[in-house]
Structure 1
Amino acid sequence: MGRQRLPVIVSLGGFSGAGRTSGHHGVARMAYGAMARPTQERTLSALGAMMGIADPLDREQYILDHTLIRRIESQHFDVDAVLWNQRFPTESNGHPVTFDIERRHLPDDIPPNWKITPTSVTHVNVNIQGQQEFLLPTEREFEVKAACQLPTGYEPGKLYASRSHPRGLQMTVCAASDTLGYLGIDWETIRQKVPADQISVYAGSAMGQLDNFGAGGLLKSRYIGKRVTSKYCPLSLVEMPSDFINGYILGTMGSTGATAGACASFLYNMKNGIADIRAGRARVAFVGAAEAPIHPEVMEGYYAMGALASDKELRALDGLDAGAELDYRRACRPFSNNCGFTIAESAQMIILMDDELAMELGATIFGAAPEVFVNADGFKKSISGPGVGNYITMGRALAATRAMLGEDLLRHGGMVQAHGTGTPQNRVTESEIMSRVAGAFGIEQWPVTALKCYLGHSLGAASGDQVTATLSMWAHGVLPGITTIEELAADVSTEHLAFSREHRHFDPEQSAYAIINSKGFGGNNASATMLSPAITRRMLQQRYSAEEWRNYEAANEKVREAQHDHDEGMIAGTREPVYHFDYGVLLDGDVDLGPRQMSVGGLPVNLDLPNPFDDMKL
């Protein structure tokens, strides 16, 4: 096989319950107790900027209490009084049901057992004989009260002209803008250097946009007596995050879309970006996912499956009485005695470049993403249950790591980011997979992290949480502990694995790789091999001369300054999201066509394509 371009990660950004991803603040919030005081203070400032707090250092406890997993707050819905419609059948029993109503509220088709009598110009009397079923608006206490929400006070739709965008798309705009700003390189420079069809965008969500501005409004408006708008249908689609990134942020015209793989969706899209770069189809790939599922309708679906940790089950775990107060911070307990996962909202993005372009532009290299492996489970009994496909993805990810780094670094230089949902099934099956695979490859004491204990389960964005957090762990030299648990469950496999409740410091220069593991409903298994910045630098220095490396480091100094300026601007509140509405729209007249090349808006597109099946040329 000839020389392939290495996909390197040159920016990361987004927002979760831990705060902002760029600047590595999210992991600093997760492992807050392990951070030096200056790092804590900067993270408090970053969170304070998001939450609208002018004196963050004076309100440290408030900020800590209103981030990560916690009781669902009122901006989402009132967990003590969730609105719903109770079936309300009536029977006249010889005495008719009668009431007055405005004419405009009468149904278009009057039921045959209704007798309508005008009482005024505007009102009528309705007399119903026999049976009639009504839906009565009422309230009930929700069974699940914990979720990982964005920091209290952060409302992405208020930061730009959101025009009734679903929350997931609001988060997309802000996360993509953050990632673009943290790149430290002017985007127009890249657009002018890279052909228009060689910038890929792959981003989506597992479930689409389900709030009242998307599919939620589309499906229920008529049932609650409201009008369906023209925005509901298009804005609800799964690939809409990539469409927004293309159409309103980057203005790109390359390959695009979203591959949905349930909870592994981010890794599925990262696989697309990696494949484009390694095959030479793209030089830049913008990869992401955004999910905003904290709605009673969505959560009720997962609760009905027995997947979510309910208040009743959490009390039973802790031996608490029915009225006892719960510690919602500990709702998600990966690999311990647990009862279900905790739902979350998150938007996470990365930018991949081929190594040659990154070297030329002086881009900061946060690591490399050479491989993502995806395998299904084969025949299944339960479509939502785990299966054997994850053995294949994990085994292939480690085999690829061994091929690139050798046996010694494989055995002593890595860590694994577990899917770690906090369900009884996951703790058994995933720990067994990790233990057996580690043993097969001769790994002893493989460090395991399980970030959902802080971030909850953000569905399609969950593996994005893992990927971006891994990059930040290498930046800080800290593995966040599984702090919500007291001990591992008895049925968790521990051989060859190193779990920890405590935060663990490590030397990033001695870390070589991480395996990111994700398991999605339906048998959507994905495992990614990620290389640390230290090992990526060593690899690139094998490919490029000493002079080329010096030139890269000189160019990177300005990029790092720009990244620092972005972080400072976000903390100061002077950076606004990028949102180009009705800006630079290209039309037919902007396209110049030739037989070997075309130009779109002045950007070249090569039409002189080789025949990939030259041996069968006629």
Structure 2
Amino acid sequence: MTALPIIVGMGGINAAGRTSFHQGFKRIVLDKLDQKSRQETFVGLATLMNLVTYHEGKLVDVQGDEVAKSDIETRFGDAILAGTLIRKIEKNHFDVDATPWQQKLTMNSNDGKEIVFSCRKRDLPEPLPACWQVTELDNKTVEVVIREQLEVKHLSHRDNPIKAAGQLPSGFEPATMYNSRYQPRGLQATIFAATDAIRSTGLPWDKVMNSVRPDQIGTYSASVAGQMNEEGLGGLVRSRLRGDRVSTKQLALGLNTMSTDFINAYVTGSVGTAFSTSGACATFLYNLRAAVNDIQAGRTRVAIVASSECAITPEIIEGFGNMGALANEEGLRKLDNTDTVDYRKTSRPFGENCGFTIGEGAQVAILMDDALALELGAQIMGSVADVFVNADGVKKSITAPGPGNYITMAKSVALAQEIAGKEALAKRSFILAHGSSTPQNRVTESLIYHKLAETFSINGWKVAAPKAYVGHTIAPASGDQLAMALGVFEYNIMPGITTIDAVAEDVHSEHLDIRTEHYQCDEMDIAFINSKGFGGNNATATVFSPKLTKQLLSKRYSAQQFADYQHKLGETQARQSSYQQAADLGQYQLIYRFGEGMVDESALTLSEQELTIPGFEQAIKLCEHNPYSDLL
């Protein structure tokens, strides 16, 4: 009997806000919410952005004056809207209007004979250029005479042609929420996202950890570029070029495996599976696939699946920009025939577009096998039937698309039809498209959906594209798509692509339903999370709704087992409600266990059959069965 991987919690942060309890989703579809959900969203974002704080039982503004929840939208609504989703890059990243760079300069003497200057003796280059004549002026100062040209580099600034990104909400500072110790922004976001996901489950985490053997817990996470901020690889590669010293932390903290390591070492304290794989834009799905496979095989019973990327830096943006992959000001002006660029609409999936918009974020999903989810009374947010990964074969250009995504999507659709039936597939499935917002993507990705719709007799196949709102967060991009899918399951609101005026003429949309406005939809049962990554890293996940998941589980479990589950679920939901209320007031209580509960290795108990670790109630079985017994 194959275990079904159940989604029991999800947390994180991106340009739309917090992931838990669908805050980010609600920000995107804000105008379709009822008044209660709308107010809840504005209050949660106001505290997240530090526009108001919760103090002594009441919300107060920066002046310390009390603010009623009902007044939040009126007083801070404009700032909340302006400080979320895609917008002009803020100066806490860098100044896009005056981006620092090194300008080359060739110097000659005015009289054509020699260049003469003085400097500190300690600042002379080593080795000294042969054409430099140095005379000591005093113990600390020298005069330098150069009879040739002198090439130097000096600090300068340039107007960056790429000015928009999907940034974390303005004013959100995870570094101030815990003792962040000069950690890169991506790892700070990871700590926030992991805490948000764990608390969103409504389950006491110690109970979860001790409900299974220590080696049956897994963390599956990675970033793509690593931590490119000053505290990570960005500082490592820039420091010596600027004349600064490299720190002892920049290399280690910059590795793209660090999100896995931070979750294990500082949040969960897990000693189970640690797995990190990168697959370009499909990185979240690659790690989700590993978790799903391990749950299905019984190797893992609790999986933390994560990805983080906070790479809004001049170097990363210039790298993508020079590839022609990012939307720039000139391209947007030509598209709109205007001198004024609307930074909110730089990402235009399936519309007339000129490149993607980079984003930053961190997403964490908590999965369990179905038996454990029912045993603990976990909230069933959905399930992942499988994740398919396929390459493109021989390529002329490493960034060009290929047949791999046809394979992943076709397998996902065929599996969904086999499990849920033709009617569910045809009427109650939708696609969370990769939707990168490049001219090539809109054609090639839509053609895949068109051909599959024809093959499986689907008409009006609903398509949503989160990158229109939060940008392309690279590693966690598929996590953004999963978060949107869970929001659709919960609210029956299908996000349109409001950043486009119309679907582009070259999009294969005959069998697709791509709208430019959000709209109410019928209950959805199946979501296809699709990713087309650089280098042929294609992945598609088949995700089922809570309703369909429970219908499937009713075939496996008795009415009494479900009754017992419902009783436990009530307690879980009460704890979830408590956390949601606290989080909406900015009371996140980040989990950061720096040096807390460290394992005393001398107290380990080891036998030929099992290993017992202090702090864990269950022992690790060393070898339960011989998988190759037929060879003996």
Q: Residues 426-468 of structure 1: CA distance to partner in whole angstroms, max 9, x if unpaired? A: 0000000011011111111110111111111001110010011
Q: Residues 393-414 of structure 1: CA distance to partner in whole angstroms, max 9, x if unpaired? A: 0000011111111222121121
Structure 2 residue 18 is the aligned partner of structure 1 residue 20: yes
Q: Residues 35-68 of structure 1: CA distance to partner in whole angstroms, max 9, x if unpaired? A: 1121111001111111111253221111011100
Cα distance in 2 between the residues matched to 1:14 and 1:279: 27
- Where do 5+ consecutive residues of structure 2 fail to align? 53-66
Q: Percent identity?
A: 43
Q: What amino acid sits opposite 1:496 in the alignment?
A: H
Matches within 5 A, 1:126-525: 126-320=144-338, 324-508=339-523, 511-525=524-538
Residue 41 of structure 1: aligned partner: 39
Cα distance in 2 between the residues matched to 1:25 and 1:328: 23
Kindly state the Cα deviation for residue 507 of structure 1 after the two structures are TM-superposed: 3.4
Is contact 2:44-2:586 (8 Å) kept? no
Structure 2 residue 609 is the aligned partner of structure 1 residue 592: no
Kindly state the Cα deviation for residue 525 of structure 1 after the two structures are TM-superposed: 0.3
Kindly state the Cα deviation for residue 72 of structure 1 after the two structures are TM-superposed: 0.6
Kindly state the Cα deviation for residue 602 of structure 1 after the two structures are TM-superposed: 4.4
Cα distance in 2 between the residues matched to 1:253 and 1:136: 49
Match of 1:51 among 27, 49, 52: 49
Is the partner of 2:24 in helix, strand or coil?
helix
Cα distance in 1 between the residues matched to 2:158 and 2:444: 36
Q: What amino acid sits opposite 2:172 in the alignment?
A: Y
Cα distance in 1 between the residues matched to 2:260 and 2:471: 24
Residue 60 of structure 2: aligned partner: none
Q: Residues 235-257 of structure 1: CA distance to partner in whole angstroms, max 9, x if unpaired? A: 11111100000000000011112
Cα distance in 2 between the residues matched to 1:497 and 1:195: 46
Which range moves more in the overlay, 604-613 or 444-453? 604-613
Q: What count of residue pairs does the alignment treat as equivalent?
A: 610
Q: What amino acid sits opposite 1:47 in the alignment?
A: L
Structure 2 residue 104 is the aligned partner of structure 1 residue 87: yes
Cα distance in 2 between the residues matched to 1:602 and 1:67: 42
Kindly state the Cα deviation for residue 572 of structure 1 after the two structures are TM-superposed: 1.8
Cα distance in 2 between the residues matched to 1:483 and 1:504: 11
Residue 547 of structure 1: aligned partner: 560
Cα distance in 2 between the residues matched to 1:148 and 1:292: 10
Q: What amino acid sits opposite 1:430 in the alignment?
A: E
Cα distance in 2 between the residues matched to 1:30 and 1:602: 42
Residue 581 of structure 1: aligned partner: 594
Q: What amino acid sits opposite 1:253 in the alignment?
A: V
TM-score by length of 1: 0.97
Kindly state the Cα deviation for residue 121 of structure 1 after the two structures are TM-superposed: 2.7
Cα distance in 1 between the residues matched to 2:150 and 2:189: 44
Is the partner of 2:208 in helix, strand or coil?
helix
Match of 2:92 among 70, 75, 87: 75
Q: Residues 258-306 of structure 1: CA distance to partner in whole angstroms, max 9, x if unpaired? A: 1100000000000011011000001000001001111110000000000
Q: What amino acid sits opposite 1:275 in the alignment?
A: N
Match of 1:61 among 68, 74, 78: 78
Q: What amino acid sits opposite 2:374 in the alignment?
A: M
Is the partner of 2:564 in helix, strand or coil?
helix
Q: Residues 354-375 of structure 1: CA distance to partner in whole angstroms, max 9, x if unpaired? A: 0000001000000001200000
Q: What amino acid sits opposite 1:15 in the alignment?
A: I
Kindly state the Cα deviation for residue 103 of structure 1 after the two structures are TM-superposed: 2.1
Which range moves more in the overlay, 563-572 or 352-361? 563-572
Q: What amino acid sits opposite 2:205 in the alignment?
A: W
Cα distance in 2 between the residues matched to 1:404 and 1:523: 28
Q: What amino acid sits opposite 2:309 in the alignment?
A: E
Cα distance in 1 between the residues matched to 2:186 and 2:264: 16
Q: What amino acid sits opposite 2:35 in the alignment?
A: R
Q: What amino acid sits opposite 1:137 in the alignment?
A: L
User: Aligned in 2, Cα 1:177/1:602: closer, same or farther, shift over 3 Å?
Assistant: closer
TM-score by length of 2: 0.95
User: Aligned in 2, Cα 1:231/1:408: closer, same or farther, shift over 3 Å?
Assistant: same
Is the partner of 1:448 in helix, strand or coil?
strand
Is contact 1:81-1:140 (8 Å) kept? yes
Is contact 1:243-1:257 (8 Å) kept? no
Kindly state the Cα deviation for residue 90 of structure 1 after the two structures are TM-superposed: 2.6
Q: What amino acid sits opposite 2:42 in the alignment?
A: L
Is contact 1:417-1:466 (8 Å) kept? yes
